[in-house]
Amino acid sequence: MSTGDSASGPVRRAGRARGRVLDELVAGLGPITAEDLAARLPEVHVSSVYRALAVLEEEGVVAHVHLGHGPAVYQLAEEADAVRHLVCDVCGLDVVVPSGVFSPLRRRLERDYGFVLDADHFAVVGRCVACARATRRHPG
């Protein structure tokens, strides 16, 4: 019970990929996909980007969100905390809103169904103002 950290896992050794990926995220590019990250880091292979992101997520430094049909986007966990994503299924626009907007639904789902909403891992899908307007079956 002294050296045995039950869930400590392997000893982490800083390699090039992890550092570069974190640097990019810290540079504040906002939500970005693994592929876009790899595109900015010619020295780092896409698969290494995914692996680096996985480790960083495990450490709680990074978090990812699935935006509707598109690929997942990554971000510093601290930046992701207070917001939720509304993604337009038509144009892909990502509308970021304060997480508080979901509190009433969250409470209701939890009380009535025991379901704990995780609105920060998957975006909520719909249509943005512009696309909603355009979608009203061709006025006329």
Partner DNA sequence: CTCATTGCAAACGATTTGCAGAGAT
Partner DNA sequence: ATCTCTGCAAATCGTTTGCAATGAG
Contact in structure between 22 and 49 (CB atoms under 8 Å):
no
- Nearer to a second copy by Cβ, of 41 and 88: the residue is 88
46 binds, among a second copy, DNA, none (CB under 5 to 8 A by kind): DNA
Q: Is 50 in the site for a second copy (CB under 8 A)?
A: no
Instruction: Write the binding mask 66 to 85 for DNA: x where contact by CB under 7 A, - elsewhere.
Output: x---xxx-------------
Size of the site for DNA (CB under 7 A): 28
Long-range contacts of 127-133 (CB under 8 A, 24+ apart): 127/88, 127/89, 127/90, 128/86, 128/88, 128/90, 128/91, 128/93, 128/95, 130/91, 130/93, 131/88, 131/90, 131/91, 131/93
Question: Which 5-24 residues touch DNA, going by CB under 7 A?
Answer: 10-19
Beta strands 72-76 and 83-88 are unpaired
Tokens read off for 76: 């510093």
Q: Does 29 help bind a second copy (rule: CB under 8 A)?
A: no
Residues that bind DNA (CB under 7 A): 10-19, 33-35, 43-48, 50-52, 54-55, 66, 70-72
Residues that bind a second copy (CB under 8 A): 68, 86, 88-89, 95, 97, 101-102, 104-105, 108-109, 112-119, 121-122, 124-129, 132
